[in-house]
Structure 1
Amino acid sequence: MHNFSSTRIDRRFKDLAVEGRAALVAFVMAGDPDLATSLDILKALPKAGADVIEVGMPFTDPMADGPAIQAAGLRALAAGATLAKTLKLVADFRGEDQTTPIVLMGYYNPIYVYGVDAFLEAAKESGVDGLIVVDLPPEEDSELCLPALAAGLNFIRLATPTTDDARLPAVLANTSGFVYYVSITGTTGAATPNFSATASAVARIKRHTGLPVAVGFGVKTAADAAAIAAHADGVVVGSAIVDALRGSLDAEGRATPGTVPAVAKLVEDLAGGVRTAARAPA
């Protein structure tokens, strides 16, 4: 097993377990709607109550993403986002925040094109803590997962309602940081999860691992966040945040003075929901 006692992700989940509450994991797309606004949004997230930030790596063919996140990626690409600029965004964020964990989420193709070793070195240098690469199954661990672990980055795996007990050990074998449980079958933002089914799924995953389990897909409101936070170690919100951003843009899809506040306000509401679902401290 790899020892990750020193990553920001591990420390954050450990601290929150002591506090007796779940983490709010907020997803935003790098470079949406432009790089400068994207940096301002990143800086606003911890102050609004995000405990962990997932930063999407824009990609032209995001097959696991629903319409909201696909559109965010296309806006970012149209504004000139690249993987190199995404890494610089994280480095710029780290200029004033050394504690909030950052997870890059996306697809393998841009990393492969960048070069795995060069990417891992640049990611580590930029202040990235972990990776979620949705199209690399455990059978491909030698491609990126094992090199990432060797570089000291958490490699976070997704489990879904269709991941059965026979499959779970393979999914969890080289996972670190946390397990991301996708609470509904389908693309992101598609439907509202069944909260009681989610609770039993989290319990099932925890029988196989000591890692924190964060739940995402379909969380839209503070009430949703509270319902999941009562049972999970983290609540992941993506599409709702991206929708709040999109709703603040002008007719040409450009940022307005209301863009950063719109995102911050929703994250504050969600953080409030997560914090109402207090649990016994670890």
Structure 2
Amino acid sequence: MHLVKQVEIPEDLPDLLTAEQEVELAKRIEAGLYAQFLLGEGGSRYTPAQLRLVAADGRAAFEHFVTANIRLSAWWARKRAAGMDFGALLTVEDLTSEGMLGIIRAVQKFDYTQGFKFSTYALYWVRLRQQRAITGATPAALSSADQERCRGMLAMRYQLETDLGRVPTDAELAAAMGVSVMGVVQMHSMMSRAVSLDAPLFEGGRDESSSLLDVVAGQDSGDRDDAHAMASQQLSDLLALLSDRERRVISDVFGLATGVPRSVNEVADEYRVPVVKVRDLVERAMVKLRGEQQVAA
């Protein structure tokens, strides 16, 4: 189901759903998921054909729920884009696409029994996804060739996330692009003026901030200090998972202490070790952090 790739913003978007429609769709989705579960378990009093019909209806309801909320993602994308310069990497359509991933996540987690309006709940996820895209796509004097590479990586990440139903790992992204894992890490680094490890470390867990030091989305400018404080605490918790050597290298390569990223070569020269050793340390640290993600999920 390709709901996100190349999202365009039509002039005549459908209205958001009513509360009654949201509950009806959520119930159909729930029934579809249960039918899919029974198909796998066997022994149901319903025939497989009946269960497949209910499961298909649940998938249709899910798609309807998501596409009916394009307006919400498009509205917030326009709001964020107004008066802001994301260089050549992001357009309003890009932000809308990223926000639609938030809509998908919100539909997956929406609990209709709580009595909340979906749009109120979903806006958090839309803002979270769009803020991550903005943070990760702030170029630091990128050349045209580098901008094109980063655009390609963003497009591939959107596609893989839609196909897999989760954020792809750097290894999966690298394989799809035909580059090395280190090449993906370097592109992440290029796309930020300071820290840009665009790697979702807690997806599906208790704290769903989506990168190593993302600004916590869902915060207006007046709450930015609190957001940075929360992100800094999260970063401290993450770094505590690493060995002293891994922590020092990650801090140096991604500029966690200074705000100025450094190349792997520079860090290797400072520590007087082979470049490959620094690269191995970075990759090992990222594997460890993603291992924590899987435990949290």
Structure with a larger share of its residues in helix: 2
What is the TM-score of this pair, normalised by structure 1?
Answer: 0.27
What is the TM-score of this pair, normalised by structure 2?
Answer: 0.26
Structure with a larger share of its residues in strand: 1
